[in-house]
Amino acid sequence: MPNWIVHSKWAKKAGIDKFIADFVNRNIDYGTSWAFKKSENDFSVEEYESTAAKQLNFFHQKDLEEEYDHNSYVKAYYLHHLLDYFKETRINILEMNVVFDQFLKEKIETKTINNEGIKVHFLKEIHQIFDFLRKNKDELYSDLKGVYFTN
């Protein structure tokens, strides 16, 4: 199953709006350099070291523009990177908790600095994604089989 189908399916199962999931997936996979254009009032994104950190800040700002407080863009961001991590890691992905621990250590930022210079943490959203995948691990492994599992 192609990555974009896996990402879209799991975002939908996690309760993330299809438009938001597709927007996040496209921007992560095909680039978001256009999104980092600064206005004169924006906090400087040049301080960030990685594209992933810039993406997190961008998606957090998108969530702030929404009328509800679900952090759907941020959750889609973490879900996308976590599903990719299952493919990239050399860790036995059947050891889900080990994968999650290494994902936090190696792959992503757990916080960002918003446009006002305030540090915002996302461990709650990350753990919601982890819990969701744990509860659905049999189906997740079935979807990943062949594409992600190695001999």
Rounded mean pLDDT, 97-115: 90
The C-alpha angle 7, 10, 12, rounded to 5 degrees, equals: 105
CA distance 151 to 141: 14
Question: CA 109, 103, 61, 52 torsion: positive or negative?
Answer: positive
pTM above 0.85, yes or no: no
Confidence of residue 124 (pLDDT cuts 50, 70, 90): very high
Q: Residue ranges per domain, the chain?
A: 3-31+51-144
The C-alpha angle 64, 21, 92, rounded to 5 degrees, equals: 115
Helix (H) or strand (E) holding 140: helix 137-144
Asked if 92 and 18 count as a contact pair (C-beta separation under 8 A), the reply is no
HSE (side-chain half, CA atoms, 13 Å) at 81? 22
Percent of the chain's residues with pLDDT above 90 = 33
Asked if 59 and 76 count as a contact pair (C-beta separation under 8 A), the reply is yes
Confidence of residue 48 (pLDDT cuts 50, 70, 90): very low
Q: How distant is the alpha carbon of residue 125 from its chain centre?
A: 10
Confidence of residue 3 (pLDDT cuts 50, 70, 90): low
- Look at residue 142 in the predicted model and tell me its pLDDT: 86
Rounded mean pLDDT, 115-119: 83
Rounded mean pLDDT, 88-117: 89
Q: 20-24, 40-44, 49-53, 142-146 — which is least confidently predicted?
A: 40-44
Asked if 8 and 22 count as a contact pair (C-beta separation under 8 A), the reply is yes
pLDDT exceeds cutoff 90 at 45 = no
Residue count of the chain, please give it: 151
